[in-house]
């Protein structure tokens, strides 16, 4: 069973491949409604209706290197296994919105996994884009945005420097830990 952090990496890489310049990731642990919601929103090339209809079919992909695309259909399968579901909405040249909903307490729900590693891996992508990440646990939340961090760092320090990446990694890990404890 794959961790949700690996699903998140996979789905967000789709957004990067789709030439997005803005990518918003939100993870919501809604204890009251027993839901874990993961949304990925981008402003990339988007998909037409035909592609959306086929995208959840594991034997469809626009990749040329192999003919099975699994990212979205695997996440959908995992969502459904818990009693949840996956929704996609997209429009060509506007962007794509993916929302995975999982029942938090369901025994088949994959663990969150290493979210900090997923976010830092995405930040280290070759492609240039602003990544914003929000994590909510009940009524509390924290967020980061790569453009904001880069602005604070100024021109002399690159967000991809290992010391900054390390700091972001600990920042995310510690914040998730403390929200879970609260
Ligand atoms: N955010 C997105 N923007 C535009 N097109 C997308 C996006 N996400 C998915 N797609 C389209 O849906 C197809 C299926 O995506 P999916 O992640 O399921 O498989 P894949 O990326 O093709 O292969 P895999 O993820 O298994 O390496 C993609 O090939 C792409 O055409
Ligand atoms: Mg993919």
Q: Write the pLDDT tens digit of every residue in 5-43.
A: 999 999 999 999 999 999 999 999 999 999 999 999 999
Q: Could you read off the pLDDT of 62-118 as tens digits, one per residue?
A: 665 554 567 898 899 999 999 999 999 999 999 999 999 999 999 999 999 999 999
Q: Output the pLDDT for position 53.
A: 80
CATH number at residue 142: 3.30.565
For the whole model, what pTM was predicted?
A: 0.94
Question: C-alpha distances in angstroms, 100 versus 24, 93, 103?
Answer: 14, 22, 10
Cα distance between residue 18 and residue 45, in whole Å: 5
CA nearest ligand 1 atom 4, residue? 46
Positive or negative, the CA dihedral 171, 28, 106, 42 is: negative
Q: Which ligand is nearest to the CA of 69?
A: 1
Buried b (16+ CB within 10 A) or exposed e, 67-94: eebebbbbbbebbebbebebebebeeee
Q: Output the pLDDT for position 52.
A: 85
Cα distance between residue 168 and residue 26, in whole Å: 17
For residue 179, the CA-to-ligand 2 centroid distance in Å is: 30
Q: Output the pLDDT for position 101.
A: 98
Determine contact, residues 59/67, Cβ cutoff 8 Å.
yes
Q: How many domains does the chain have?
A: 1
Q: Output the pLDDT for position 181.
A: 87
Q: Output the pLDDT for position 63.
A: 62
Domain hosting residue 50, numbered range: 4-181
For residue 18, the CA-to-ligand 2 centroid distance in Å is: 10
For residue 16, the CA-to-ligand 1 centroid distance in Å is: 10
Mean pLDDT of the region 132-150: 97
Which residues line ion ligand 2, judged by CB < 5 Å? 14, 71
Q: Output the pLDDT for position 64.
A: 59
CA nearest ligand 1 atom 25, residue? 71
Cα distance between residue 175 and residue 100, in whole Å: 22
Residue 57's pLDDT band, with cuts at 50, 70 and 90, is confident
Output the ligand 1 site: residues, CB below 6 A. 10, 14-15, 18, 42, 44-47, 51, 55, 61-63, 69-73, 96
């Amino acid at each position: 069973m794959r961790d949700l952090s690996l699903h998140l990496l996979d789905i967000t890489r789709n957004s990067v491949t789709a030439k997005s310049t803005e990518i918003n990731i939100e993870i919501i642990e809604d204890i009251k409604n027993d839901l874990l919601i993961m949304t990925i929103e981008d402003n990339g090339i988007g998909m037409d209706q035909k592609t959306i209809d086929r995208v959840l079919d594991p034997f469809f992909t626009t990749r040329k290197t192999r003919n099975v695309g699994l990212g979205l259909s695997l996440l959908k399968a995992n969502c459904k296994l818990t009693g949840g579901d996956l929704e996609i909405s997209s429009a060509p040249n506007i962007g794509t919105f993916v929302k995975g909903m999982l029942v938090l307490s369901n025994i088949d729900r994959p663990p969150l996994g290493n979210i900090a590693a997923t976010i830092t891996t995405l930040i280290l992508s070759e492609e240039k884009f602003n990544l914003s990440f929000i994590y909510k646990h009940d009524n509390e939340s924290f967020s980061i945005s790569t453009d904001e961090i880069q602005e604070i760092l100024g021109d002399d320090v690159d967000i991809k420097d290992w010391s900054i990446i390390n700091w972001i990694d600990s920042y995310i890990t510690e914040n998730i830990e403390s929200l879970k404890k609260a």
